[in-house]
Amino acid sequence: MADLTHLDASGAAHMVDVSAKPDTVREAVAEGAISMAPAVIAAIRAGDIKKGDVLGTARIAGIMAAKQTSSLIPLCHPLPISSVSVEFDYTDTGVRVETRVRTSGKTGIEMEALTAASIALLTIYDMAKAMDKGMVIGPVRLLAKSGGKSGEWVAG
């Protein structure tokens, strides 16, 4: 258990003390997808979803989610977010989201990028569920991260 940074010597969960770490510019990129019926893809593209602008609303939801990550995930440090981008691409089976989050701080920003992607996808589901309750979200994954002691990482 000593190798797990969120557990103390007795195995109890705690927030890691990052106060001695230097601030560095950090960035994380995450992606996710939602698959849906072809008619739903067409309706989103055409702006024919009754609840409104699906991707515009999902973009705002993703940005808001990144800013709230430390309130949602236990032991996650609140970070001063410098920027969040949430971009969408249509696929043959649905919509793909890519999020990019940056900060200058003492700890990584991966959770914020993953949270932004997840909430953006959940927002798409919520707005289009009247047309297709069988939509499938996933996978959601980290694509890359930079900054900090561990440096660069890119998914293989």
76: annotated binding-site residue? yes
6: annotated binding-site residue? no
Active-site residue list: 126
58-63 long-range contacts (CB < 8 A, ≥24 apart) are 58/86, 58/88, 58/97, 58/120, 58/121, 58/123, 58/124, 58/127, 59/86, 59/88, 59/120, 61/119, 61/120, 61/122, 61/123, 62/86, 62/97, 62/99, 62/116, 62/117, 62/119, 62/120, 62/123, 63/116
114: annotated binding-site residue? no
Annotated binding site: 75-77, 111-112
Annotated binding site for substrate: 75-77, 111-112
